[in-house]
Amino acid sequence: MNKFLQTARFGFRKLKEFYDPDITYYAASLSFYTIFTLIPLLLISFSIIVRLPNFSEQYEKIKAFIFSNIMPASQDTVASYIDTFLANTSKLGIIGFIFILFASIMFFQNYEYIVSKIFKTKQKGFWNALTTYWTLITLGPMALAASIYLSVKIQQLLNATTYTSKIDFLSIFPYLIIWMLFFVTYKISTTVIIKLKAAFISSFFASLIWYLGKNLFIQYTLSNKTYATVYGSFSTLLFFFLWIYLSWIIFLYGQKLCYLLNKEDKPDKSDNNLNIEYLTPSDSKKR
**Per-residue pLDDT for 200 more than 50?**
yes
The CA distance from 173 to 151, in Å, is 7
| Model pLDDT for residues 18-43, shown as the tens digit of each residue | 888 899 999 999 998 888 887 777 77
Does residue 277 form part of some domain? no
98 within domain boundaries = yes
pLDDT (average), residues 99-118: 84
Q: What angle do helix axes 235-265 and 94-119 make, rounded to 10 degrees?
A: 40
Residue 70 predicted with pLDDT over 90: no
- Contact criterion met (CB below 8 Å) for 164 and 142: no
Residue 124 reports pLDDT greater than 70 = yes
pLDDT mean over 103-122: 87
Q: 189 in a domain, yes or no?
A: yes
- How far is it, in rounded angstroms, from Cα 218 to Cα 202? 24
15 found inside a domain: no
Flag whether pLDDT at 181 surpasses 90. no
Q: Are the C-beta atoms of 182 and 248 separated by less than 8 Å?
A: no
**Mean predicted confidence (pLDDT) in 253-280:** 65
Asked if the model's pLDDT at residue 11 lies above 80, the reply is no
**107, containing H or E segment:** helix 94-119
19: left (phi over 0), alpha (psi -120 to 50) or beta: beta
The pTM of this model reads 0.78
Task: Determine the pLDDT at residue 256.
Answer: 94
Contact status, residue 197 vs residue 256, Cβ threshold 8 Å: no
Q: Which of 71-85, 155-169, 253-267 has the lowest mean pLDDT?
A: 71-85
Give domain status of residue 12, yes or no: no
User: Does residue 2 lie in a domain region?
Assistant: no
Alpha carbon separation from 175 to 147, 164, 207, 221 (Å, rounded): 12, 20, 7, 21
> Is 276 within a domain?
no
Query: Angle of helix 235-265 relative to helix 75-88, nearest 10 degrees?
Result: 90
Domain limits for position 227: 33-264
**Residue 196 predicted with pLDDT over 80:** yes
Q: How many domains does the chain have?
A: 1
For residue 19, tell me if it sits in a domain: no
What's the whole-number mean pLDDT along residues 153-179? 77
Rounded to an integer, the average pLDDT of 272-279 is: 40
Q: Residue 1's pLDDT is what?
A: 64
